[in-house]
């Protein structure tokens, strides 16, 4: 009984910590640009993954004005990404996202991109999932040569909430450092990014996911 009570207390403490830590945008409120201010998605471009694949004629993306969310239906198209069409160098990107809970236990998959090449041959992604994800990986330059880097094993803790619940990702890109914070606390840092600038993007990979409050604060 004592073990059960202790386990419950630990669970409650972890959940409380996830709920109470504020995101950067909540404490630093100035200088943010709303990337979804134009509800027609002007300034964003759909692109296939991989870049040589055909792009579906049916877009999975639409803006739900009532809910104030960008919806990716997932199943309406193949693997692709939605690119914000302005290159950025140093910034903090704030994105809130939630998968629509599906029947069974699917392997939910999507991601948030930063400093991508225009065609995403070079890409850096903050992985999402259902109570999984929260790490950085990608095809990037290492010593000037394209190489896969995956920092899953360096993730500090698992802070992603399950499908049906909202999560907040904040990615800070500054110099050679990419830092991912999940629901208010840093979980992963990429200290040697050799790509100094690139494009922000959101991924469609077969699952219904919603995004809201997609905002960026550029850094000096």
Distances from the Cα of 46 to the Cα of 53, 56, 170, 192, angstroms: 12, 10, 22, 29
Please state, as a whole number, how many other Cβ atoms lie within 10 Å of the Cβ of residue 176: 12
Tens of each residue's pLDDT in the chain, 220 residues: 444 433 433 333 444 444 445 566 566 778 999 999 999 999 999 999 999 999 999 999 999 999 999 999 987 678 999 999 999 999 999 999 999 999 888 899 999 999 999 999 999 999 999 999 999 999 999 999 999 999 999 999 999 999 999 999 999 999 999 999 999 999 999 999 999 999 999 999 999 999 999 999 999 9
What does the mean pLDDT of the chain come to? 90
Which phi and psi (to 5°) does residue 173 adopt? -110, 115
Rounded CA gap, 81 and 10, in Å? Answer: 38
Condensed to tens digits (0 to 9), the pLDDT of residues 29-57 reads 789 999 999 999 999 999 999 999 999 99
Per-residue confidence (pLDDT) for residue 34, from 0 to 100: 98
Q: Compute CA 61 distance to the chain's CA centroid, rounded to the nearest angstrom.
A: 16
Backbone φ and ψ of 18, nearest 5°: -60, -35
- In the prediction, which pLDDT does 24 show? 65
Is residue 96 within 8 Å of residue 168, measured between CB atoms?
Answer: yes
- The 10s digit of each residue's pLDDT in 89-103 is 999 999 999 999 998
Contact between residue 202 and residue 211 where contact means Cβ atoms under 8 Å apart: yes
What pLDDT was estimated at residue 12?
37
pTM (predicted TM-score):
0.87
Looking at residue 26, its pLDDT comes to 61
Architecture of domain 24-218 in CATH? Sandwich (2.60)
| Secondary element (H or E) of residue 150 | strand 145-150
């Amino acid at each position: 009984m004592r073990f059960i009570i202790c386990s419950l207390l630990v669970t409650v403490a972890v959940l409380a910590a996830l709920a109470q830590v504020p995101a950067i945008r909540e404490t630093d409120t100035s200088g943010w640009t709303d990337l979804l201010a134009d509800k027609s998605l002007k300034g964003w471009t759909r692109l296939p993954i991989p870049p040589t694949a055909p792009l579906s004629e049916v877009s999975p993306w639409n803006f739900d004005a009532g809910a104030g969310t960008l919806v990716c239906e997932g199943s309406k198209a193949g693997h692709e990404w939605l690119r914000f069409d302005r290159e950025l160098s140093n910034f903090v990107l704030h994105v809130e996202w939630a998968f629509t809970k599906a029947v069974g236990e699917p392997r939910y998959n999507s991601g948030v991109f930063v400093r991508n090449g225009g065609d995403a041959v070079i890409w850096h992604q903050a992985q999402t999932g259902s109570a999984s994800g929260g790490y950085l990986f990608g095809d990037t330059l290492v010593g000037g040569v394209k190489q896969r880097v995956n920092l899953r094993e360096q993730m500090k803790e698992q802070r992603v909430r399950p499908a049906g619940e909202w999560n907040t990702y904040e990615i800070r890109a500054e110099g050679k450092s990419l830092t991912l914070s999940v629901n208010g606390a840093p979980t992963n840092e990429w200290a040697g990014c050799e790509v100094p600038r690139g494009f922000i993007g959101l991924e469609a990979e077969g699952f219904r996911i919603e995004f809201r409050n997609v905002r960026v604060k550029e850094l000096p």
